[in-house]
Chains A and B, each alone.
Chain A
C-alpha cells in the first residue's frame, strides 16, 4: 500500500485528510529511494549509508531529529504517518496523562521530562509500577488494542512532548505493520521494566531500590540532577516518606549522591549501579535490544 493510499484510508474512517508537510513529503521521497536500493526497513541510522543525491533530502536530514527515541528510530514512512497528527505540548509537573478506568485521549511521546504510571490499591495506597521518558510513549493500552487506562499516569518531572489522539494512533497502527512492531516492542520492554520493579519491590532493600530508581530517572533526564521531592520518591518506592530519608543517607554517606531539598544529584553513576545490587540493569538491557536491533 502506498503512502497516499494509507492516508486516504485514514481519511475515510474518521480522520480528515491532512496535507503532508514539506518535510514529510521529502522523507517519503527518500524512503522510496531507499526502497529502490533494496535496503531493509530501518531507521535514520541506516539512511546515512544510502547514496542520495537529492539536495532536498539532504536538507531534510539536517533538520533536528526527535529526542524521543521511538520517534527517532521509526522509519521515515511511519514518522510521516504520525507527524501530521502531532501536537507539541508542554508537560508541567503533575499533568495527568491518563486517568484510571477512563478512556485514553492521547498517546504522549516525551521529548523531555518523566512520566510515572501509578497503581492505586485499597485505602488510597499507591505505588509506582513504571516510568516513561524520552525513550518511549504512554498509551500502551491503545497500542495493544485497548481504550481504557488501567492506571494513573502523570508527569513527575516537567518536560515537553508530542501527543497524538488515541484514535488516530489506532488507525495509523492498522496501516503500518512496521510501526505496530516498533511500538509493541516498546510495550514489551516496558512490561519487562514492570516485572523488575515487582522483583525489586519484593526483594531489594530501600536503598537498593532508591539506587535503581535514581539510575532509571538519570537515564531519561539531561544533566546529573534528578529534581524530585522525597514525597514523590516515597510514592515511587512504595514506602512512607521518612523511610526515604534513611536510604538517601546511606547513598550520600557512600559518596554516590548529593541531596538537596527537592533534588538529588548523581555523583558516581558506576558505583550507584553497584549499589543497586543487581536491581538495575536487566530491564535496561531489554530496552537497549529494541534500539540496537534498529540501528
Chain B
C-alpha cells in the first residue's frame, strides 16, 4: 500500500491534492481517478455547469513523481447510441 496524490489540472489551473489516498497500486489510483472524474462531470451536467472535459488527473507519489495521467474525456463514453 502506498499514498497516491490525485491533482486535477485544467490548462494552467490546478487543484492540488494535499492529503492523498492510500491504495495498493497505481492501477487502483487510475481507477479511482476515472470514477471520480465521472462523478465530478455528472454533477456538473446535472447542475448545468461547465463539464470540463479537458481536465486531467495527474497521479503522483509521495515525492511528486508523475506516475499516470487520466483524462476526464477518456472516463466517459461520448459515442452515439448504436
Interface positions of A (Cβ within 8 A of B): 205-206, 229-231, 239-243, 245-246, 249, 259, 261-262
Which of B16, B19, B47, B57 has the most chain A CB atoms inside 10 A of its CB?
B19
Q: Is the CB of B47 within 8 A of A242?
A: no
**Residues of chain A within 8 A of B43, CB atoms compared:** 205-206
Q: In angstroms, how far is the closest chain B Cβ from the Cβ of A156?
A: 15
Give Cα distance in the complex from A262 to B19, angstroms.
Answer: 7
Q: B23-45 CB contact bits vs A (8 Å, 1 = yes)? A: 00000000011011001100100
Q: Is the CB of A242 within 8 A of B32?
A: yes
> Top 3 nearest A-B pairs by Cβ distance?
A240-B36, A242-B6, A242-B36
What is the interface residue range for chain B against chain A? 10 to 19
Q: In angstroms, how far is the closest chain A Cβ from the Cβ of B40?
A: 6
Give Cα distance in the complex from A223 to B43, angstroms.
Answer: 32
Q: In angstroms, how far is the closest chain A Cβ from the Cβ of B1?
A: 13
Interface of A, secondary structure class, is helix
Interface positions of B (Cβ within 8 A of A): 6, 8, 15-19, 21, 32-33, 35-36, 39-40, 43, 47, 57
Q: Is the CB of B35 within 8 A of A245?
A: no
**Residues of chain A within 8 A of B19, CB atoms compared:** 229-231, 241, 245, 261-262
Q: In angstroms, how far is the closest chain A Cβ from the Cβ of B10?
A: 10
Give Cα distance in the complex from A246 to B21, angstroms.
Answer: 15
User: What residue in chain B is nearest A246 (Cβ atoms)?
Assistant: B15
Interface of B, secondary structure class, is mixed
**Residues of chain B within 8 A of A242, CB atoms compared:** 6, 8, 17, 21, 32-33, 36, 57
**Residues of chain B within 8 A of A229, CB atoms compared:** 19
Give Cα distance in the complex from A135 to B35, angstroms.
Answer: 36
**Residues of chain A within 8 A of B57, CB atoms compared:** 242
**Residues of chain B within 8 A of A245, CB atoms compared:** 6, 8, 15-17, 19
Give Cα distance in the complex from A229 to B33, angstroms.
Answer: 18
Q: In angstroms, how far is the closest chain B Cβ from the Cβ of A29?
A: 55
Q: In angstroms, how far is the closest chain B Cβ from the Cβ of A271?
A: 20
Q: In angstroms, how far is the closest chain B Cβ from the Cβ of A187?
A: 32
List 30 A–B pairs whose Cβ atoms lie within 8 Å, in order of A's numbering: A205-B43, A205-B47, A206-B43, A230-B19, A231-B19, A231-B21, A239-B36, A239-B39, A240-B32, A240-B35, A240-B36, A241-B19, A241-B21, A242-B8, A242-B17, A242-B21, A242-B36, A243-B39, A245-B6, A245-B8, A245-B15, A245-B16, A245-B17, A245-B19, A246-B8, A246-B40, A249-B15, A259-B18, A261-B19, A262-B19
Give Cα distance in the complex from A241 to B40, angstroms.
Answer: 11
**Residues of chain A within 8 A of B18, CB atoms compared:** 259, 261
Give Cα distance in the complex from A109 to B36, angstroms.
Answer: 37
**Residues of chain B within 8 A of A259, CB atoms compared:** 18
**Residues of chain A within 8 A of B16, CB atoms compared:** 245
User: What residue in chain B is nearest A259 (Cβ atoms)?
Assistant: B18
Q: In angstroms, how far is the closest chain A Cβ from the Cβ of B39?
A: 6
Give Cα distance in the complex from A243 to B38, angstroms.
Answer: 10
Q: In angstroms, how far is the closest chain B Cβ from the Cβ of A198?
A: 16
Q: Is the CB of A243 within 8 A of B36?
A: yes
